[in-house]
Structure 1
Amino acid sequence: MLSPHSFSPDKAAAATGLKAAVTILDKWGASGEQGEAILRVSHSTYARAKKKDALVEINLDRDQLTRISFILNIHAALRIVFDNPENLYGFMKMANHNPFFEGRTPLEIMGSGDFVAVYETFRRIDAMRGSQW
C-alpha cells in the first residue's frame, strides 16, 4: 500500500496517460510489438499498462510522454473527424494513399517506433481536424 508521502502526482499522471494510450492502441488493433515500439516502453511495462489497476505510478521520460500525447491527440482528432466506431478505431489500420503514407497504414508507419514517423503521422492526422486533406 502506498503511503500519502510516497505518492507522486507526476508518476500517477504518467501511469494514467500510458494506460489510456495502450487502451487506444489496443482499440486500433495494434500488436503488442507495435504498441511497445510506438510508446518506446518495455514488453513488461506495456503488459502492466493493459491490466486494470496494475499500474499506479511509473517513471517515463520526456520522449515517452510526448509519444503518449501524440496517441491521445490522434485519437481526439479521429473523434472529431469520424462519427462511426468503424472509422474511429479502424482508420489507423486502413491503407492510406495520401502523400507520406503512400499506401501504408498509419499504424504500420508508427509501428517502426521511429519518433519522426510517430510525429509525422500525428501531424497529418491532426490536420484532418481542419479538413486540410
Structure 2
Amino acid sequence: MAVASQPRSFSKSQCVTGLRAAVGILEKWQATGDQACRILRISRSTYTRARQHDPDWSVALDADQMQRISFVLNIHATLRLVFDNPDNVYGFVSMANHNEFFNGRSPLDIMAQGDMIALYETFRRIDMLRGAQW
C-alpha cells in the first residue's frame, strides 16, 4: 500500500533564518527589491520585514518558497567555492554571461523572471562551474 508523501513543513524559525540569509545574499548580489521578491516569490512587505531583523517577527513559507531560498543559498555556496575574490563571488550574478543559456543576460536577470525553472536552470549552470559533483 503506497502512502502519499506529505509536503515538508518548516518551522517559522527555519523560514525566518533561511529568508534572512537569502535576502542578505540577494542584497550583496545587488538585486533590487522587486527582483528579490520575484526570485523568492514573496511580497514586498515580507521582503521589507526580513531586512529589518526584528527578533519578534516570524513568517511561514511554503515548500516552493523554501526551495527558492535553497537555490539562492546553493548558488552562493558554489560561487564561494569557485571564486576566491569577493568581487567575483558577489558580482558574478550581475555580469552579462554569453554562454548558451544566458545569451548575454546576467544570471540575476534570468532568476528575476520569477519562475522556478529559470531559477533551477541558473543554479544548474552555475553549479557546473565547480564540476557539479554531488
TM-score, normalised with respect to structure 1: 0.88
Q: CA deviation at 1:51?
A: 1.2
Q: CA RMSD in A?
A: 1.6
Structure 2 counterpart of 1:28: 29
- The CA distance in 1 between the partners of 2:26 and 2:56, in whole Å, is 17
Structure 2 counterpart of 1:106: 107
Is 1:38 the counterpart of 2:43? The answer is no
What does residue range 1-133 of structure 1 map to in structure 2 within 5 Å? 10-53=11-54, 56-130=57-131
Q: CA deviation at 1:53?
A: 2.9
| Cα-to-partner distance string for 1:3-59 (whole Å, 9 max, x where unaligned) | xxxxxx711011000000000000000000000000000000001111123564211
| Cα-to-partner distance string for 1:43-95 (whole Å, 9 max, x where unaligned) | 00001111123564211011000000000000000000000111000001000
Q: CA deviation at 1:114?
A: 1.1
- The CA distance in 2 between the partners of 1:74 and 1:90, in whole Å, is 12
AA at the equivalent of 1:92: V
Q: Gapped runs of 5+ residues in structure 2?
A: 1-9
Alignment identity in percent?
A: 60
Q: Gapped runs of 5+ residues in structure 1?
A: 1-8
Cα distance change, pair 84–112 in 1 and its aligned pair in 2 (3 A): same
Q: Secondary structure at the match of 1:128?
A: helix
Cα distance change, pair 36–54 in 1 and its aligned pair in 2 (3 A): farther
TM-score, normalised with respect to structure 2: 0.88
Cα distance change, pair 44–84 in 1 and its aligned pair in 2 (3 A): same
AA at the equivalent of 1:13: Q
Does structure 2 conserve the Cα–Cα contact (< 8 Å) formed by 1:106 and 1:121? yes
Q: CA deviation at 1:129?
A: 1.3
Cα distance change, pair 26–50 in 1 and its aligned pair in 2 (3 A): same
Which stretch shows the higher mean deviation, 90-99 or 46-55?
46-55
AA at the equivalent of 2:107: P
- The CA distance in 2 between the partners of 1:90 and 1:20, in whole Å, is 17
Query: How many pairs does the alignment contain?
Result: 124
Moved segments of 4+, more than 6 Å = none
